[in-house]
Amino acid sequence: MKRFIANCKYFEIKNPRACALFSLTNSAALQFCKTELGELNLVAADHYYHSQSGAQSEASAYAKEFLASIKEKTEIICIYGIGLGYSYQAFRQWLLENKEHTLIFLEDDLATLMRFLETEMATELLKDPQVHLYHIEETSHGEGSKGDVFQEIAWSTFPQKMAVGVLPYYEKIKKQTFQGVKNRLLFEESDTHCILDEYTIYGVPYFRNFWPNLLVLPDSQKASALFGAFKDVPAIVVGAGPSLNKQIDRLRELKDRALIFAGGSAINALTDNGITPHFAASIDPNPMQYLRLRQNMAFETPFFFRHRAFNEALGLVSGPKLYLPGGDGYNISDWFEKRFKIKGKTLGGGHSIANFIIEIAYALGCRPIILVGYDLAYTNRQSYAQGVEDEKKRIFSDEDAVDFSDFEGNPILTAWKWILEGRWISEFASKHPKLRLLNATEGGIPIEGVKNVSFSDVAARYLTNSSDLDGWVHTEIQKVPKVGCTPSDIFKQLGKMFASVERCLELLEALIAECTKHSATLSPLDDPQAILMLEKLHQEIAFKYILDVFDRMRTKLDYYKKQFRAHLTFSEKKQQQYEKKLLLDHLILLREVAKVNYILIQRMGSKIAEKGKA
């Protein structure tokens, strides 16, 4: 009992709720016993948690096989099931190889945790700063535990690579639960990377397009003027999944019965088969978008875009450019939209262009919305439909794949990015319960909350009225006003933002200098002069509209990392040193973001001045 109480002090740091629940837990059914080698074991109703012929040898054999199966760069290993901690000993050498290696145990059985905390092994494990033990709840279907431990782990360990294993006993008796835990961990890891990856590289993919895309605005129209213009007109929203190949002929026949929306690779897939969509869209910031648009034949198609879209690709668009407000996770577009009086509802956009075009069709008033080509999977081990002639013809790799079930319940491979897209569609459908959103893909994975239907059935039921939709689109486009700003207006506002970015840079350099000149543990935020500089920084428009989102994301990330690192073996001095390092890294991130924008704005201003457009 004395050891249990002592171990609870360590365990409670990350598991206060579990410690509170111990008083309500009866562990009597779970008893200690000995293996044939005299090792401690657990037994419940003749079921042993570890091999009776050798608990440590079983754990070591599993660890050896597991480590051989993962990539060398993996720094985080999560094990579902603690048992009596033999896996900790089995992975000890791996931990010693690199101080960045981290071992995380997840256990959903309180009685098992109570028994484990009675052992010497628990004392050793809990005192190891490279090892973490969490109690998780509600794991039977991979759902989140109270306090969302899965999300906490994903944020705390970002950007390190994670691998997930299991206690051999749980692999036998809790296989389905383990798969749910594993999927949730890897899902949260993927989602965290989706949120944070771009911020860690200073937002370069966004900003390198945002600033030159400002010069696209004078020739663009306000897309929000089209919202509601096509009330109750059916929409076919096209993805580039492999199953699109079998829908092409029918799509060609339906162009006068439904508005066809496509974005990114789907545009190429359609135009390669002689179909021009009524509307196209892009929010892709990468150079491959340039090749896609250069290859497709939809030259005059009305084109929705936001500032995230690859600038050179927008230069290829000869049809009407329809600007949609919004910053896709950044604030800078808000400032310019206010200055240029660009109003209208901001659409969410989701995780990809496949999500974004659904929201566009909904905003235009289209009902029902029919999805085709939304496989969100490697259908027949293919990534995309015919006609997509870019890097997506890459060789399929099982390393990128996730086991899943298709819409008929058969095994299929998908990827976390597509699961994220499918989750967004499910949430969108849930938020709009009156919307008839139908999945006529006839392939790929199911989308929860969205009914699967055959394309022929949906066409027979909903796509029966024929009209001149091309003419209707053309007429509505003619009514849409221009954005209404000039290059001179843009140049003027650029000057204001540039001056503010410059002041932010000066303040950040001074704060970084303050941070480095103090002692290893003294925070510069205890210095009145540093506090004053920080207040001035927060008042700058460049901070509010450029740096603030990075500041908030980094603050959240730092919070999780500090919580994750909290350990009774760390001295107060060591913890202060760690927190000061986080602060310095935080300030350096903001400085680098400011530098990136300083250079890009300067480059933009020079271009405008050289062309005499100011």
With 0-12 / 13-18 / 19 or more C-beta atoms within 10 angstroms meaning exposed / middle / buried, residue 129 is middle
Percent of the chain with pLDDT over 70: 92
Specify whether 240 is located in the same domain as 157.
Answer: no
* pLDDT of 275: 92
Residue in the structure block whose two tokens are 């910031």:
285
Specify whether 80 is located in the same domain as 11.
Answer: yes
Specify whether 420 is located in the same domain as 518.
Answer: no
Q: What are phi and psi of 411, to 5 degrees?
A: -65, 140
Specify whether 188 is located in the same domain as 233.
Answer: no
- What domain count does the chain have? 3
Report the alpha-carbon distance of residue 534 to residue 510 in Å, rounded.
Answer: 10
Report the alpha-carbon distance of residue 552 to residue 567 in Å, rounded.
Answer: 25
Domain that holds residue 435: 206-479
Specify whether 20 is located in the same domain as 160.
Answer: yes
Mean predicted lDDT score pLDDT of the chain: 90
Report the alpha-carbon distance of residue 109 to residue 562 in Å, rounded.
Answer: 27
With 0-12 / 13-18 / 19 or more C-beta atoms within 10 angstroms meaning exposed / middle / buried, residue 2 is exposed
Q: What is the pLDDT of residues 128-158, one digit of tens each?
A: 999 999 999 864 344 444 458 999 999 999 9
Specify whether 61 is located in the same domain as 191.
Answer: yes
- From 452, 479, 506, the end of a domain falls on 479
Specify whether 421 is located in the same domain as 279.
Answer: yes
**Local structure of residue 45 (DSSP, 8 states):** T
Q: What is the pLDDT of residues 523-547, one digit of tens each?
A: 666 778 888 999 999 999 999 999 9
Specify whether 444 is located in the same domain as 496.
Answer: no
CB 48 within 8 A of CB 169: yes
Specify whether 217 is located in the same domain as 238.
Answer: yes
* pLDDT of 268: 86
* pLDDT of 355: 94
Report the alpha-carbon distance of residue 325 to residue 328 in Å, rounded.
Answer: 9
Specify whether 57 is located in the same domain as 186.
Answer: yes
- From 153, 179, 200, the end of a domain falls on 200
- From 479, 513, 544, the end of a domain falls on 479
- Amino acid (one-letter) located at 577: Q
Q: Which residues of the chain have pLDDT under 70?
A: 138-147, 286-299, 387-400, 518-525, 611-614
Helix-helix angle 487-517:572-610, to 10 degrees: 150
Specify whether 469 is located in the same domain as 531.
Answer: no
Q: Classify strands 369-372 and 235-238 as parallel, antiparallel or unpaired.
A: parallel
Specify whether 180 is located in the same domain as 265.
Answer: no
